[in-house]
Homo-oligomer: A and B are copies of this chain.
């Protein structure tokens, strides 16, 4: 099997991965010393940037703030997983997302000149109580699409030794296009006329993840579209083409209330695909989020897959 596109993508950008190798080693050692059979998930979150210049002033970005990834990581921690949180620098963190998004949620005023910090303090308390055990939570921040892809590979190759206990929950909004380092201008782009940007397709690394990097792990990817019609077609294609175990398909405007889960029902890429729609119950108590259902369904799937 040839992955020349992937190879040239990786070679095209200078990314230091030494620090994450070190942090991962320490984290996995602590995680392993606790429990032999504890499941471990790599949750990816937030959007990647695509630099347009080497001395980067401009970049292509994605609207994602990492809400889905942060809320999902909370659920995985509650479900007893070790979590590696590969997320965009500055995007939302589990248990802290509401306070990060909204000062009014983080603080309230108790009297003239007095600020109540109880909401933030409570959020921090929950964050620490769920993540303070060594080996429970590792945050790996990325910014560019080059960093994301290379960090994911490092994590995946290391998690390969965890066999079926490893799960990948790929909620990050990864750019589909990039400008190779070799073709990137050194300085800030400028000129009188129109600007033509030629972007290459970011190679789909899902195939490498499922077949080479961590072949026994369960892999759940995401698909987001603004056009409902193409959404399910593309989600199915991701299963058939890259051999992922499931796809969570969401449409931009309804993504917080409704997500379709597509599961490969059997071995091999040609296996039948089972679809189910997960919905947020409109009568659910305030603060309920659809990520409870998403992660619940994925944890069930991972249990089935890891028992095989």
Contact = CB atoms under 8 A, between A and B. Distances in A.
Interface of A: 49, 52-53, 55-63, 107, 113, 115, 117, 120-121, 173, 175-177, 186-190, 192-201, 224-227, 230, 234, 252
A63 B53 contact: no
Given A60-B60, A117-B115, A197-B197, A188 B52 contact: no
A55 B227 CA distance: 9
A199 B192 CA distance: 12
15 contacts: A55-B226, A57-B63, A57-B252, A59-B62, A61-B61, A115-B120, A177-B189, A177-B195, A187-B225, A188-B225, A188-B252, A196-B196, A196-B197, A196-B199, A197-B197
Contacts of A107: 117
Contacts of A186: 226-227
A217 to B, nearest CB: 27
Contacts of A189: 176-177
Contacts of A187: 225-227, 230
A226 B57 contact: yes
User: How many copies of this chain does one complex carry?
Assistant: 2
For the complex of A and B, the 3 pairs showing the least CB-CB separation, nearest first, are A55-B226, A197-B197, A195-B199
B52 A63 contact: no
A194 B188 contact: no
A193 B115 CA distance: 54
Contact of A63 (B59, B195, B224): B59
A252 B56 CA distance: 9
A17 to B, nearest CB: 23
Given A49-B61, A57-B224, A176-B189, 20 more contacts: A52-B60, A53-B226, A56-B63, A57-B63, A57-B173, A57-B226, A58-B60, A58-B175, A115-B117, A115-B120, A176-B190, A176-B195, A177-B194, A186-B227, A187-B227, A188-B225, A190-B230, A193-B201, A194-B200, A196-B197
Contacts of A176: 189-190, 195
Contacts of A252: 55, 57, 188
A55 to B, nearest CB: 4
A193 B201 CA distance: 6
A193 B203 CA distance: 11
Contacts of A195: 176-177, 198-199, 201
Nearest to A124: B115
A187 B225 CA distance: 8
Contacts of A59: 60-63
B190 A194 contact: no
A230 B188 CA distance: 11
A188 B63 CA distance: 12
Contacts of A53: 226
A175 B52 CA distance: 13
Contacts of A224: 57, 188
